[in-house]
Structure 1
C-alpha cells in the first residue's frame, strides 16, 4: 500500500511539473513591437579600428540620417571583448519602432536621398569595396523582444 501511495504521489507531482510543456503567445508571453535588425560581423584580428573607420563614413553616416529623419529609433555597434572567439565579434544593430518601418517606402527613400548626396554614395561604395579585406558578414537577423508574463 505504501508503494502505491508513493507511486501515486510521484505521478501527481510529476504531472503538475510537466502539465504545460509549451507556452501560448499572449497568454504566457507578449511580443514587443520594436524590431531590431542585427548584422553579425567577423572582423579580422587587429582590423577593428580599420573597419570602424570605414563604417563611420558609410553605415554610421546613413543610420544617423535615418534617425534624424525619424525612420529608425536607434542604432548601435557592439564589439566583443574577446575578438577572436566565435563566429562573429561585432554586431551592427538598428532598432525600428515597429515592423512597418522595415517596409519599402518611396517617400522615405526620397527624403533620405535628399540628405545622402552623390558624394556620400560614391564614398560609401569606395569604402564598402574594401570591407572584404577586413571583415566577413556572418548573419543578419530580425529580432523582436519576448516579454514573459
Structure 2
C-alpha cells in the first residue's frame, strides 16, 4: 500500500511538472519586425552624462534610419535603482522587418554618408572614447514581440 501511494504521488508530481506546450498562432502570435536592444551598465554618477551624449551621438543617426525606413521607432530607457553588473540603460530600436538585415551596399553606404554628415566619424570616435570610461555593455540582442491570445 505504501509503495502504491508513493507511486501515485510520484506520477501526480510528474504530471504537474510537464509544461504545457504553447502553439504559435494559437496561444500567441509573433509580430513582424524586431527590437534591437542594447543593455548597458552605466556608472550611476554618469547616467546624465551618458544620456546627454546619446542625444547628440545616437538620435541623429536614428532619425536617418527612420527616414530611410530601416527603423520605425527608438527608445532610451533608464532603470530606477542600481545593481552592480546589471544594465541600467537600454537603447532600443524597432525595425519593421527582418529584411532590413540583408546587405545592400548602395543603401548602407548612402545611410553611412548621411549619418556622418549629421555626426562625423571623428565626433563619434570622441564620444565613444568618453563613454568607455563609465559604461559596460551587458547584452545586445534582437527581440520579437508576441501578442498573446485572449
Look up the match of 1:7: none
5+ unaligned residues in a row in structure 1: which ranges?
1-10
**1:3 corresponds to:** none
Q: Does residue 1:117 correspond to 2:106, yes or no?
A: no
Instruction: Please name the residue that 1:85 is paired with.
Output: 83
Q: What per-residue deviation string (whole Å, max 9, x for no partner) do you get for residues 78-135 of structure 1?
A: 00122x1361101000001011122322232122133123661110111112211111
- Asked if structure 2 preserves the Cα contact closer than 8 Å seen for 1:57 and 1:123, the reply is no
After TM superposition, the structure 1 = structure 2 runs for residues 11-30 of structure 1, keeping only pairs within 5 Å, are 21-30=20-29
Contact 1:43 1:136 in 2 (8 A): yes
Q: What is the distance in 1 between the residues matched to 2:18 and 2:127?
A: 56
3-state secondary structure, aligned to 1:54: helix
Q: Indicate conservation of the 8 Å contact 1:38/1:142, yes or no.
A: yes
List runs of 5+ in structure 2 lacking aligned partners. Answer: 1-10
Equivalent residue of 2:44, what SS? coil
Shift of the alpha carbon at 1:20?
A: 7.3
TM-score with structure 1 length normalisation?
Answer: 0.79
Mapped to 1, the partners of 2:60 and 2:90 lie a distance apart of 17
Q: TM-score, normalised by structure 2?
A: 0.78
Query: Which runs of at least 4 in structure 1 moved beyond 3 Å after TM superposition?
Result: 17-20
- 1:35 touches 1:99 (CA, 8 Å); kept in 2? yes
The alpha carbon displacement at 1:18 in A equals 8.4
The size of the alignment, in residue pairs, is: 136
